[in-house]
């Protein structure tokens, strides 16, 4: 057995910055309905003042729930485009070629190639001949991928595993879908390979998030570019499911991962957490007993990028110098209708690809019929 850990990181975000004015321009009646409380949002607040409710309270009067900016794909941009860019940036930064990678794990929410997934398309674009495998665990997949990748390297079956995650929320939630208000796009890549003894993955724990089993519905609609498009529709249970899973699995997964590693929260140098809402970082610090300077929250710049959130927060922490070789870092992901997991990694030397390009403000443009909201959103979808 050898030690395995994360040895390189890359992050990509589309250049287009979409702000709240886009909805006021393209879906004014939808926003007006939310502001008038004629309809309710996904993340509603009721019940006792638990840590989740306390952290969410300052955002309840804002229909955008504290979201101010998102990075969204440009017209014609695809998941494959983002996956290829983030992969090539990592390989270039690490001085590797496609033939130096022994296994690629690809996880996209949602992929260009439904049913099959994007792995074969990424392999074709980049030139991988090694196995390229699709892994699906929604927003919880990054920790799941890390556990599988590290196990393969530790046993000596492979030398290097490339993990690629991507998110295409903006095309899966129309303007009159409340999910669109808080969601963005992006991609991340992590290289898992051998590290010196005493470094690398120290612990790993994951659970199935059964409480969110009915949080979302999906519909397939015709699309002029891809022939069809998968749309994500939150159910009445979505907000409460996120609250229930956050309250349960954040302390459970992180607590068990820390115990396995023989650590306490105060022993950590940094924590890279999923941050799917404007208040999640504050909530997590309260629950785990972490000071705010031990986490990074990229939500204000990118909103919810699903499976990309944890790797992009880890990348940003590394870029800011929040941790270095020998430091223990906690990783946490939370996925609806999938899994939640935590891991403790003792970081070795880490190669960072260049930071994502600066964004460009989106031009609102004319309102097209296809972007107009439906006259009356169905209550069952809220």
Burial of 133 (0-12, 13-18, 19+ CB in 10 A): middle
E-state strands within the chain: 3-12, 16-19, 69-72, 103-109, 132-134, 160-168, 185-195, 200-208, 216-223, 227-234, 270-273, 328-334, 339-346, 351-352, 360-361
Closest by CA to 38, choosing from 382, 325, 306, is 382
The percentage of the chain sitting over the pLDDT mark of 90, rounded to a whole number, equals 81
pTM of the model: 0.92
User: pLDDT for 94-127, tens place per residue?
Assistant: 999 999 999 999 999 999 988 889 999 999 999 9
Rounded-to-integer distance, Cα 164 and Cα 30, Å = 35
> Could you tell me which residues come within 8 angstroms of residue 132 by beta carbon, excluding any fewer than 6 positions away?
104, 106, 119, 120, 122, 123
Residue 115, pLDDT score: 80
Closest by CA to 18, choosing from 301, 226, 271, 354, is 301
pLDDT at 243 over 80: yes
- The domain 3-381 is classified under which CATH number: 1.20.1250.20, 1.10.760.10, 3.40.47.10, 3.40.640.10? 3.40.47.10
Higher pLDDT, 368 or 223: 223
Residue found under tokens 């099959």: 116
Take residue 139 and report the two structure tokens written for it: 């927003």
User: pLDDT for 284-313, tens place per residue?
Assistant: 999 999 999 999 999 999 999 999 999 999
User: pLDDT for 132-147, tens place per residue?
Assistant: 999 999 999 999 999 9
Query: Is there a contact between 291 and 271 (Cβ–Cβ < 8 Å)?
Result: no
Q: What is the mean pLDDT of residues 68-76?
A: 95
Burial of 188 (0-12, 13-18, 19+ CB in 10 A): buried
Rounded-to-integer distance, Cα 84 and Cα 162, Å = 12
Q: What is the CA radius of gyration of the chain?
A: 20
Phi/psi class of residue 5: alpha, beta or left (left: φ > 0; alpha: ψ in -120 to 50)? beta
Alpha-carbon distances of 186 from 24, 75, 78, rounded to whole Å: 24, 14, 10
Residue 369, pLDDT score: 45
Predicted confidence band of residue 374 (pLDDT cuts 50, 70, 90): very low
Predicted confidence band of residue 266 (pLDDT cuts 50, 70, 90): very high
């Amino acid at each position: 057995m050898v030690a395995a850990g994360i040895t390189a990181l890359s992050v990509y975000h589309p250049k287009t910055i979409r702000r709240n004015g886009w909805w006021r321009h393209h879906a004014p009646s939808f926003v007006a309905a939310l502001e008038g409380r004629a309809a309710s949002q996904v993340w509603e607040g009721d019940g006792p003042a638990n840590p989740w409710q306390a952290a969410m309270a300052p955002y309840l009067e804002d229909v955008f729930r504290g979201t101010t900016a998102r990075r969204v794909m440009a017209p014609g941009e695809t998941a494959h485009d983002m996956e290829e860019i983030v992969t090539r940036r990592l390989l270039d930064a690490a001085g590797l070629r496609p033939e130096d990678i022994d296994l690629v794990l690809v996880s996209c929410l949602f992929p260009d190639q439904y049913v099959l997934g994007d792995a074969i398309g990424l392999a074709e674009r980049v030139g991988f001949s090694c196995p390229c495998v699709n892994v699906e665990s929604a927003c919880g997949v990054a920790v799941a991928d890390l556990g599988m990748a590290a196990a393969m390297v530790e046993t000596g079956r492979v030398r290097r595993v490339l993990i690629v995650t991507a998110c295409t929320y903006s095309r899966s939630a129309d303007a009159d879908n409340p999910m669109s208000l808080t969601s963005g796009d992006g991609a991340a890549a992590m290289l898992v390979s051998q590290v010196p003894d005493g470094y690398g993955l120290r612990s790993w724990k994951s659970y199935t998030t059964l409480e969110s089993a009915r949080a979302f519905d999906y519909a397939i609609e015709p699309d002029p570019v891809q022939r069809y498009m998968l749309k994500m529709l939150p159910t009445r249970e979505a907000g409460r499911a996120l609250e229930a899973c956050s309250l349960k699995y954040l302390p459970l997964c992180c607590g068990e991962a820390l115990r396995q590693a023989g650590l306490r929260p105060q022993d950590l140098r940094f924590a890279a957490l999923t941050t799917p809402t404007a208040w999640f970082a504050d909530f997590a610090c309260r629950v785990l007993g972490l000071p705010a300077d031990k986490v990074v929250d990229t939500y204000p710049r990118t909103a919810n990028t699903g499976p990309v959130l944890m790797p992009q927060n880890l990348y940003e922490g590394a870029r800011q110098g929040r941790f270095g070789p020998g430091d223990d870092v906690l990783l946490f992901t939370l996925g609806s209708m999938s899994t939640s997991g935590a891991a403790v990694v003792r970081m070795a030397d880490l190669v960072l690809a260049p930071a994502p390009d600066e964004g460009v403000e989106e031009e609102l443009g004319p309102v097209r019929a296809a972007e107009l909201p439906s006259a009356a959103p169905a209550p069952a979808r809220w």
